[in-house]
Amino acid sequence: MADRQKAAVAALTQENGNGECADCGMENPEWASVSVGVFVCHRCAGVHRGIQGRVKSLVYDNWDNDSMQVMKALGNKKAKEKYEMCVPVYYKRPHSESVDVLRREWIEAKYERLEFTDPDKQESYNCQIKTGMLWKLGRDRKQFALRKFVLNRSTNKLVYYVNEDNGKPKAEADLDFLNAVFVPQKIGKSSGLQITYFRNGSTRNLYVYADESKEIVDWFTAIRAAKWERRRIAFPDRDLTQLAEDLTKDFLMEGWLYKMGPKSEPFRKRWFTLDRRKLMYLEEPLNAFAKGEVFIGHRDAGYSVNMGAAQEGDRGSNSQNANCCFGFTLHTPDRDFIMRAETQDDMEKWILALQKVIDLPLTTQDSKLAALLVPKKASNSFRLIKR
């Protein structure tokens, strides 16, 4: 009898909408939240269990008739119609590889707080001005301190103050050239967020977190909402979903590489971040500023990447060379950047990521950023900024 019940429940996953996780889209979910009647993956099942949901395995648990009838009567499609009636187009839905904080807050927002059944419940991020305290890492990277942050749609700025009583802002970030990426492992906090923005000719990195996961996700969503609203006003005839593309963008790649210096200098170990079309390299992952930045243009403008680098003796030698044998070269109109990874797998991933960027045509926003980041020597040709 138990086996027949399991088989009957498993068969429900073949019905429309049930073949992927109701919350992150992972295929072939093997769990179910009986409380809300949805099929979910193992990671989302853990979140449902944490919010007092009745969670059952399709493989290992025994199913009673009542639980099976709940899943038959509901399912992912009906749950979506009920719990996702008014999800804002700018809201970042998690996917199967999303960080836990985004996954958890999406699930709690849907089923506990019912944020997507009533737009009035979205005021914590859909607002003209958002103010609050976040823990920010000091520029010297010694410790985090509470700082007051203010996001203002009318000025299109995100600013922060050293003191709660305002005064002069410590820094101002233009939302048009701001990105926000969750980096919990790098910061060492589950709600860790990295904010990058353009300042005085280079990129500034802010590392922040909040004590509550909802607070940091609200800030992340408020940034996306403000950027989307600005686009909506500027392009009233555009499709709203299209305007929500690339409001914030996860880093394409991050990790340690060895970079050859420009003047017969030996290879040096640097932390590289590929942020959209910017390749930044830093001495340490949590530096406020990069040692250098390269804007990566389109292949038609002379950009390319290929496997292979200089021989060991071409640019000096040091002990690092022997540990870094997987070389590749990024070609730009002004300079070739020779880098080496520690494994073949890392090398191949970097080459693939860089090639994807090079193959993408430049957007209007890309061209604006390039004009600010570095002066152009020729059309679509950019040079390195080195600090």
- Residue 154 · residue 174 · CB < 8 Å: no
User: Under a CB-based contact definition with an 8 Å cutoff, are residues 277 and 293 in contact?
Assistant: no
Identify the pLDDT of residue 370.
76
- For residue 248, the Cα-to-chain-centroid distance in whole angstroms is 7
The one-letter code for the residue type at 198 is: F
Using alpha carbons only, give the angle 324, 330, 334 rounded to the nearest 5 degrees: 130
CB 294 within 8 Å of CB 384: yes
Q: Is the pLDDT of residue 195 over 50?
A: yes
Question: What is residue 2's predicted lDDT score, i.e. its pLDDT?
Answer: 61
pLDDT computed for residue 12 by the predictor: 79
- Each residue of 229-239: pLDDT tens digit? 999 999 999 99
- pLDDT category at 197 given cuts 50, 70, 90 is very high
Per-residue confidence band for 201, with pLDDT thresholds at 50, 70 and 90: confident
Q: Which domains are delineated in the chain?
A: 2-115 (1.10.220.150), 123-238 (2.30.29.30), 253-386 (2.30.29.30)
Q: Determine the average pLDDT of the residues in 7-31.
A: 87
Distance CA 79, CA 333 (A): 53
Q: How many CA within 13 A on the CB side of residue 305?
A: 23
Q: State the pLDDT at residue 125.
A: 98
Question: What is the pLDDT, as a whole number, of residue 321?
Answer: 46
Closest residue by Cα to residue 5 from 60, 55, 43, 75: 60
pLDDT in tens, 237-281: 999 888 998 899 999 999 999 998 877 678 999 999 999 999 999
Q: How confident is the model at residue 371 (pLDDT cuts 50, 70, 90)?
A: confident
What is Dmax (Cα atoms) for the chain? 76
Q: Whole-model pTM?
A: 0.89
pLDDT per residue over 113-138, tens digit each? Answer: 999 999 999 999 999 999 999 999 99
Q: How far is CA 58 from the centre of its chain?
A: 32
* Strand 336-341 with 55-57, pairing: unpaired
Asked if 271 contacts 281 with a C-beta cutoff of 8 angstroms, the reply is yes
pLDDT at 193 over 90: yes
Confidence grade of residue 17 (pLDDT, cut at 50, 70, 90): confident
Encode pLDDT of 153-171 as tens digits: 999 999 999 977 767 899 9
Residues 6 or more apart from 308 whose CB is under 8 A from it? 327, 328, 329
Cα Rg, the chain, nearest whole Å: 24
HSE-up (13 A, CA, CB side) for residue 95 = 2
With vertex at residue 255, the alpha carbon angle to CA 254 and CA 257, rounded to the nearest 5 degrees, is 125
**299-335 confidence digits (pLDDT tens):** 999 999 999 864 444 444 443 443 447 999 999 998 8
With a CB cutoff of 8 Å and minimum separation 6, the contacts of 251 are 181, 183, 273, 274, 275
Residue type, 20: E
Contact 117, 137 (CB under 8 A): no
pLDDT at 3: 67
pLDDT(210) > 50: yes
Query: What per-residue confidence (pLDDT) applies to 347?
Result: 96
Mean pLDDT score across all residues of the chain: 88
List pLDDT tens digits, range 52-88. 879 999 988 888 889 989 999 999 999 999 999 999 9
